[in-house]
Amino acid sequence: MNMKNHTLTGLVLPVAAACALLTGCATKTPSLYQWDGYQPQVYEYFKGQKDAAQQIAALEQARTKIFASDKTLPPGFRAHLGMLYASVGKGAEARQQLTEEKERFPESSAYMDFLLSKLQ
C-alpha cells in the first residue's frame, strides 16, 4: 500500500464517524398538521365501504383526538366533513365546516364558495 492510499484510508474513518455523529444529532421537524384519522376516511369514502354517518362519526372522533393533543386539523379536513354533512342533510353543519375551511385556508376560497353556493 502506498502512502497516498494510506492517507485516504486514514481520512475515511474520521469522516464517516463525523457524519454518523451529525446524523444522530438531527431532530425531526414536527408536522404542522395532524393527519390522524383523516386520510383513512377519505380513502374509505372513495372506496364506498362506509356510509356517510360512519365517516362523520370517525372524523368527529379524529377531530376530538387532534384537538386534545393540541394539534391542527389538516387542509381539507373541514371541507370533507362539510361535504359529508351535506350528504346527510345537515346543511347548517355543512355550512359551518365549509366556512371554517375557507377561513383557515384562504387559498380554498373559490372552491369553498362554490360548495357553499350549492347548499342554498
Dist CA 2 CA 79 (whole Å): 68
pLDDT of residue 48: 81
| Neighbour count for residue 104 (Cβ, 10 Å) | 15
74: DSSP letter: P
Burial of 66 (0-12, 13-18, 19+ CB in 10 A): buried
pLDDT higher than 70, residue 23:
no
pLDDT of residue 39: 77
Q: Are 91 and 120 in contact (CB under 8 A)?
A: no
Q: Are 116 and 95 in contact (CB under 8 A)?
A: yes
pLDDT higher than 90, residue 33:
no
Burial 74-85 (b: 16+ CB within 10 A, else e): bebbbbbbbbbb
- Give residue limits of the domains in the chain: 59-119
Dist CA 17 CA 49 (whole Å): 51
pLDDT of residue 97: 98
pLDDT higher than 70, residue 17:
no
Summarize pLDDT for 65-117 with one digit per residue, the tens.
999 999 999 999 999 999 999 999 999 999 999 999 999 999 999 999 999 99
> What cell does 21 get?
455523529
